[in-house]
Amino acid sequence: MKKLFILLTFFISSLYANILQEAINNAPINSILKLPNGIYYGNIKINKPLTIIAKEKNVIIQGENKDSVIEITSSNVILKNLTIQGSGNRIDARDAGIKISNSNNSKIQNCTIKDSLYGIDMGMVTNSIIENNYITSKDVEISLRGNALKLYYSNDNIIRNNEIYNSKDIIFSYSHNNLITQNHIEKLRFGLHFLKSNKNTIDNNHFAFNSVGLIFGGAKDTVVKNNMIKSSIGKAGIGVLIKGVSNFVFKNNTVTFNNKAFYIDAKHNETTIKRFITNNEISYNMEALHFHGAIKQNLIKKNKILGNIDDVVKSVRGNSTSKNIVEENYWDHYSGFDRNNDNIGDTTYRIVQYADRLWHYNNKVKFFYATPIISILNFILSLAPFIEPVVLLEDTKPIVQIK
């Protein structure tokens, strides 16, 4: 049975005393430390199974503006209801509000982490829960901030219902089978960045005002569902960036008000379907689907694609379109008839490049986009093309009306 070790009577007023660290050092394994209101000075090290809970609302763990505020090197550690602030500024040392390593079955719950370079840094952490926290970085230029969350070689964790603002990135490196759900992620550089991380699920999160909402590099067996990805800002302004993925499932999401909803970099030698993009709303973006290189091995089905300036853009010459399954999408740019009233167009929706290919391949020409000269060229070429247009994508069963 767990022993109960309670801190009830003291309020720390000395800048030099570290009563909390002494209490941790003296506490038996699996003790529960219940902290009354006060400022408790870091930098705290926890190397045994232990629970630290704020029993009142104003419990602050104050770092010394160097190193990490709390460093955990044990399994079965719980931190709850704490305000953690004042880490160091060294990016090379990954100074963090909380640094966890070689830990299993730990929990960080209902904490506020602020004025810290990194929020929570997790290395070789498994079966742990990060939930109901508020995380923000130091008030410096974004290039000088650390990551709100950094997981490396960390598997089978749950990242749930956190509010994350004004940090740099959230990064998963070589981290597998994690669940990221019900988080609000705003004003970061990269909302979520997965590098060589497989079998992760991203469900029911809200991404807003990030430079790039989600990035997947070399990720396998990933499921992205029920998310809102909107208003990506800056020169990139990308909702979802996909490169080198396999069995990538993207369904029931809304991707809206971005410069590019999708930026897809596919390998020219792919031989099987790699990306499954289904039942999403892709709306009011500058570009709905931007392909860099080959347009191939995609299943794009039952999406609502509307209000975008361009439905499909290809930014590199060569690598022809092939081996896609594109059907039953609603495209508001489609103009066709439905004579048998089955809500499927009588003709396919072929997305081609005429004169506008110029600005796809050369950004300087984009200055003239939507000007009369480009519009006239496109109109003339569509009526009587003297060069064969490039077919980018063809929906074989376009939906006529949204029901």
CA 55 to chain centroid, in Å, comes to: 33
SS3 281: strand
Instruction: Render pLDDT for 291-304 as a digit per residue (tens, 0 to 9).
Output: 987 888 999 999 99
Are 120 and 98 a contacting pair, CB within 8 Å?
A: yes
**What domains are there in the chain, each with its CATH number?**
1-188 (2.160.20.10), 201-403 (no CATH)
Question: How distant, in Å, are the alpha carbons of 48, 95, 327, 379, 400 from that of 334?
Answer: 63, 53, 13, 16, 8
Question: How distant, in Å, are the alpha carbons of 41, 121, 269 from that of 83?
Answer: 12, 16, 51
Instruction: Render pLDDT for 316-372 as a digit per residue (tens, 0 to 9).
Output: 765 566 789 999 999 999 999 999 999 999 999 998 876 545 555 556 556 666 667
Question: Given this model, what pLDDT does residue 190 score?
Answer: 97
More confident residue, 321 or 175: 175
Q: Considering the entire predicted model, what is its pTM?
A: 0.88
Q: Could you tell me the two tokens for 160?
A: 């749930």
SS3 142: helix
More confident residue, 155 or 380: 155
Pairing of strands 190-195, 31-35: unpaired
Q: Residue 33: enclosing H or E segment and its boundaries? A: strand 31-35
SS3 159: strand
Question: Given this model, what pLDDT does residue 201 score?
Answer: 98
Instruction: Render pLDDT for 75-97 as a digit per residue (tens, 0 to 9).
Output: 999 999 999 999 999 999 999 99
Question: Given this model, what pLDDT does residue 98 score?
Answer: 98
- CA dist 68 and 90 (Å) reads 10
Quickly state the pLDDT bin for 149 (edges 50, 70, 90). very high
Is residue 8 pLDDT above 50, yes or no?
no
Is residue 281 pLDDT above 50, yes or no?
yes
CB burial readout 339-363, b (16+ within 10 A) else e: eeeeebbeeebebbbbbbbbbbeee
Is residue 224 pLDDT above 50, yes or no?
yes
